[in-house]
Amino acid sequence: MNKLTVVLCECAAVLSLLLPLSALAVEEGDTAPSFTLPDIQADKPAISLEALRGKTVYVDFWASWCAPCLRSMPLINELYGKYRDQGFEVIAINVDDPLEDGQDFLLDNPLDYLIAADTDNTVLNEFGVTGMPTSFLIDKEGTVRMVHMGFRGNDIEIIEAAVVELLD
């Protein structure tokens, strides 16, 4: 990734923070749209949000060109390792085109949670995502409890507090 690409995606992430959350199709309190997507690695089973009903799920839209996404993912991986035994799941939804860009990133940065591929942006559009990263914390009944856009310094603390509250 060259320096101009990093600057552009950081600017896009900042601009996405200026958009009102009401611009999203899915807001806090809504039922999360059900989806099934292929795993980013074609040889693995498809990933379904419905199959995780009864768990607290963090759905995170990302792309390999998005610098804030790349900063957040290892921290989300740590969070996943800390709480997965308590019913916490993560689905990271990659929107790269070409998909190989996301796959290449994962070769150098392996993650433990589920990573789906939304190659035609169907799920991205259902959720109304307008900036990267955008994440949705979904409770055990399938209700969106937190929408989080962008990723800044102490955001992981905010995310962790929301996860812990839903796990209790």
Query: What pLDDT, in 10s, does the model give residues 9-43?
Result: 444 444 444 344 445 678 999 999 999 999 999 88
The predicted model gives 124-141 an average pLDDT of 95
* pLDDT score, position 24: 67
d(CA 74, CA 88): 16
Q: Which domains does the chain have, with CATH numbers?
A: 3-167 (3.40.30.10)
d(CA 104, CA 147): 28
Closest listed residue to residue 72, CA positions, set 10, 5, 156, 137: 156
Phi first, then psi, for residue 66 (nearest 5°) are -95, 105
**Portion of the chain with pLDDT greater than 90, in percent:** 77
Q: Are 29 and 141 in contact (CB under 8 A)?
A: no
Q: Are 71 and 108 in contact (CB under 8 A)?
A: no
Alpha carbon distance, N-terminus to C-terminus of the chain: 40
pTM score: 0.85
Closest listed residue to residue 15, CA positions, set 147, 128, 149, 155: 149
